[in-house]
Chain A
Amino acid sequence: MAVLDIDGVSFSHGSKKILDGLAFKARKGEVVGILGQNGSGKTTLLNCINAEYRPQKGAVRLLNFSEESMDPSHRKCGSIDVRELSEHERSRVMATVEQNSHMNFPFSVMEVVRMGRYSRAGMLDENTDAEMDIVCSAMESTGVLGFSDRDVSELSGGEWRRVMIAQALAQEPEVLLLDEPTLHLDINHQFDLMDLCRTIVSERDILIIIVTHDLQLAARYCDRIIVMQNGRIVSMGTAEEVITAEMIREVFGMKARVGYDEEIGGMSVFLIGRDRGGT
């Protein structure tokens, strides 16, 4: 059951073509990794999915969304272009955690997570127990409940990332978009965060799309991987299909050893070094 249909999306910034006819579908209950080097158009693709940018060609459509999230006029159509939704509607279906967001003012963790309820709860029922429970359980699942009253400006990068994910979960989205969620995190926190993504997907049955340039994490944690280069999809499929030594050499210019690892129970990538063409 597809929830997201990326249908021939092309996007140019001025005269520079950033995305060139991308097409794929994604389902609920899976973690999709978008892999590629800096400048390959990963984040732009994410911004087309969440309707931040308007693609010049093609469209991003939502399919089989839950009808109660939509305004009455959009309820009955089976598929809808994300650009046609109002911010309010979109935020009930889709949540984005940006790469480098930060708070300008000293809010507490709980306050920040509660903001995620904006499009779901009215001004008056925001303080009910039921609402507070949704907020608290979102905080619990990302492990930030323990410091719910801390000031967000005092948090470490990893803690802040988890707060932002909790905020996104509080939106109760069907599609969760994460832009480089593991960037600047310690190695153990990177794995925690990816574990968290897996738990969220299995508990809440949603679609998570992760933009990353981390081969190892993508290989281990994503159900499906889409590899991008110069605004095009060069490879797409399960980790076993996509993560190959050839792909890594061609796209990342790295020599690597790839194989199935018993202990991990998945693909392991061992980077040997820079591939300098033929040597």
Chain B
Amino acid sequence: MTGDIVRRSVDAWMDESEEFEEEISDFRKGTLRRLAFIAACIAAAFIAAGIGMNIGDYRIDFFETYRVVWAHLTGNVYDETADWIMFQWRLPRICCDVLAGVGLAAAGAVMQSILRNPLADPYTTGISSGAAFGATVAMALGLSLTASGFAVVANAFFFALIPTAVILAVSKLRSASPATMIMTGIAIMYMFNATSTLIRLYADPDTQAAIFAWTVGTTDIREWSHVLMMTAFVIAGTFACQLMARRLNVIAAGDESARSIGVNAERLRVIALLVVSLLAAGIVSFTGLIGFVGLVCPHIARLIVGSDSRYLIPASAAFGALLLLAADIIGHVVVYGHSIQVGVITAFLGAPILLYLIIKQGKEVWRWNPSSKSKGCRAGTGDARTCSKA
């Protein structure tokens, strides 16, 4: 009797598996395609890193670059000069490119999900402006003269967290809707920018130059201690984002839907915002303002891997690393003997790419639907009723 029931249910199960075989295998193929894109980005990033390490006055061949790095890591350096140049000058920069690309792009992808807005990135939520303000204050006070410029970084980091704190405070006052959060971020961004400008007006020329250089955004750092700290932020932050990925998907259909599926949307938004702020602040404080990476990379990745955050976050991250490495290479070769800061190149690359995507796209990758707030609708229908009565 029991055996019969078991057999029947097994049969039913087998039956269904075959029934949906086509859909399931299609779906799994889709997953493979996404993984392939991520792998391709990582491979391309490795090549770009090789090219990046190869650029410079002292000639180290493309394949040679990785050999020098390997030799250093395994402890049998064979070319002292190449080793010194690599580890003193080139490799920190390359590492910084990768870290900043990964972190900023992942942060952008998560911010777009939690705020349900394609314009959300560390820039528009005020985190970058906060960091810039912090750095400006530190430099204006002459703190940059201390040993490694660490005070600037610490100050930038501290101020980068202020916009997040304000966003969270405001969202507690008026229940945490994505629109509220992004509006708050933009308001704070303007405030910080204005104050930074004010300070700059009264700073002496040397400080002004330093502030300017910082504001443009560069990955040209020499301190391995900075690279290590960035690594810690980026690995921890990106990993945390990836852990939240499944819940981030659910939030895309709105808070009420998310709750119905079993996700506490407001709490998730607060936690994700905190994680992403720490991640972005941890990068921006070292590099200065690198724009467009957090905006463009998730956008491009979404076109190829779709919106599932579990793939979108790693794909954006890998693409972000590639983009920054490419920007760095371009910055070093476009004007001979001079290097252009990576922040300038990302803006030059990013803006046209974004424009092209916006114009070219047949379907809207992103829809803005003002009727998403059903409460407003309900009030509206109430009005309609009173109107028809009158």
A interface list, Cβ under 8 A from B = 37-39, 43, 50, 52, 86-88, 90-92, 94-96, 98-108, 110-112, 115-116, 118-119, 123, 127, 129-130, 132-133, 136-137, 139-140, 145, 148-149, 151, 153-154, 167-168, 171
Contact = CB atoms under 8 A, between A and B. Distances in A.
Given A99-B374, A119-B262, A39 B369 contact: no
A74 to B, nearest CB: 15
Interface in B262-310: 262-264, 302, 306-308
Contact of B260 (A95, A105, A127, A140): A95
Given A98-B256, A132-B27, A149-B27, A104 B367 contact: yes
Contacts of B246: 118, 123
Given A39-B385, A115-B249, A127-B28, 8 more contacts: A39-B382, A52-B259, A87-B263, A100-B371, A101-B257, A115-B261, A116-B261, A129-B24
A100 B372 contact: yes
A123 B245 CA distance: 10
B202 interface: no
A171 B113 CA distance: 22
Contacts of A129: 17, 24
Given A43-B378, A149-B26, A136 B16 contact: yes
Contacts of B254: 98, 101-102
Contacts of A98: 254, 256-257, 260, 374
Contact of A107 (B257, B306, B369): B306
A87 B262 contact: yes
A102 B260 contact: no
A115 B378 CA distance: 27
Nearest to A89: B262
Interface of B: 13, 16-17, 19-20, 23-24, 26-28, 30, 113, 116, 246-247, 249-250, 252-254, 256-257, 259-264, 302, 306-308, 363-367, 369, 371-372, 374, 377-378, 381-382, 384-385
Contacts of B20: 132-133, 136-137, 140, 145
B307 A107 contact: yes
A38 B384 contact: yes
A106 B307 contact: yes
A148 B261 CA distance: 20
B371 to A, nearest CB: 6
Nearest to B373: A100
Given A133-B13, A136-B23, A91 B261 contact: yes
B249 A107 contact: yes
A148 B260 CA distance: 22
Contacts of B382: 38-39
A252 B279 CA distance: 57
Nearest to A116: B261
A148 B259 contact: no
13 contacts: A38-B384, A90-B262, A99-B374, A100-B377, A101-B256, A102-B367, A102-B369, A103-B252, A104-B116, A104-B369, A115-B250, A133-B20, A167-B261
Nearest to A146: B23
Contacts of A94: 260
A111 B382 CA distance: 35
A217 B182 CA distance: 42
A96 B24 CA distance: 26
Nearest to A168: B260
Contact of B261 (A106, A145, A171): A171
A20 to B, nearest CB: 16
Contacts of B113: 105
Given A87-B263, A90-B262, A149 B372 contact: no
A154 B367 CA distance: 11
A111 B261 CA distance: 14
Nearest to B249: A115
B363 A96 contact: no
Contacts of B365: 105-106
B253 A102 contact: yes
A104 B261 contact: no
A4 B66 CA distance: 67
Q: Which 6 A-B pairs have the closest CB atoms?
A: A91-B262, A119-B262, A105-B307, A136-B20, A96-B260, A38-B381
